[in-house]
Amino acid sequence: MKTVQTFRSGTVACLFLFIIGCSCSSTKIQADMSSRQKMLKSFYPALTKITRFFGVNSKVKLPDTYVKAPASIYDYSFEAIDGSTIALKNFTGKKLVIVNTASDCGYTAQYEELQKLYAQEKDNIVIVGFPANDFKQQEKGSNKDIEAFCKKNYGVEFPLASKSVVVKGATQHPVFQWLSNPTKNGWNQQDPVWNFSKYIIDENGNLIGYFDPGVSPLSKDFMTALHSTHS
C-alpha cells in the first residue's frame, strides 16, 4: 500500500488543531451560522495550508495494485438524513466518494468544495456525506438541524446519511466497517482520523483511495485518484 504524506507532523500544528477542536465543540448546530462557524469558515484555507505544511491530517493511502473487494459494497444501504433508505447498488457504474462530516469543525468549509465537485461531475460521481459526532462532539445537532445547516450555508445537494458512528467499535456504521476492514474492502484498515476523511470507490465497487481531512477534494492527489481508470 502506498502512503503519501507531504510533510512531517509538528507540535505546533497539533496544538492548533486542539484549539480549533475545543473552540468548536460547544457551538449549537442551527441553520444559520454562528459567529464561530463564520470564523472557522473564513479560516479554513489557512487551516488547510498549516496542517499540510506540518503533515497533520494530510495522509493519502492508495493500494499498491488494483484490488477487487472480497465483499461487495453494493450489498449495503444507509438511512438518509430524511429517514428514507438508500441502497448503494443504486450507484453502480459511478465513482462513489464517502466522507464523514461535521458542522462545527475547522474543516466544515470543505462542504463547499465537495458541493463544487459534485456539481461539476454529478453525471459520473456520487458523494455521500455521513454526519458524525465522533470527534470533539462537533456534530451535536439533529438530522433536521444538520440538513438545514448544510443546505442554507453550503448549498449541499449530494446525499446525506442520518447521523452515524464512523470510527471503529461495536456501533460503527456498516458502510464504514467495510471501508476500514481489509477483509471486506481488500486492503485498507484506516477508519476516519477526523471529520472530513474521504474514501473513493470506483465504478466497479472497489476501494481505490483514502484521504485525510486536510486533503482537499479538489486537490491534485484526490482528482488524480478520482479520475483513474482500471481494466
Contact (CB, 8 A) for 77 and 86? yes
**Residue found under cell 446519511:** 161
State the Cα–Cα distance between residues 44 and 105, nearest whole angstrom: 9
Starting at the edge strand found earlier in the chain, the sheet holding 2-4 runs 2-4, 60-62, 207-211, 198-201, 95-101, 125-131
- Of the candidates 14, 22, 24, 105, the residue annotated as catalytic is 105
Active site residue 105: yes
Q: How far is residue 3 CA from its own chain's centroid?
A: 18
Label residue 80 exposed, middle or buried (CB < 10 Å: 0-12, 13-18, 19+).
Answer: middle
Catalytic residues: 105
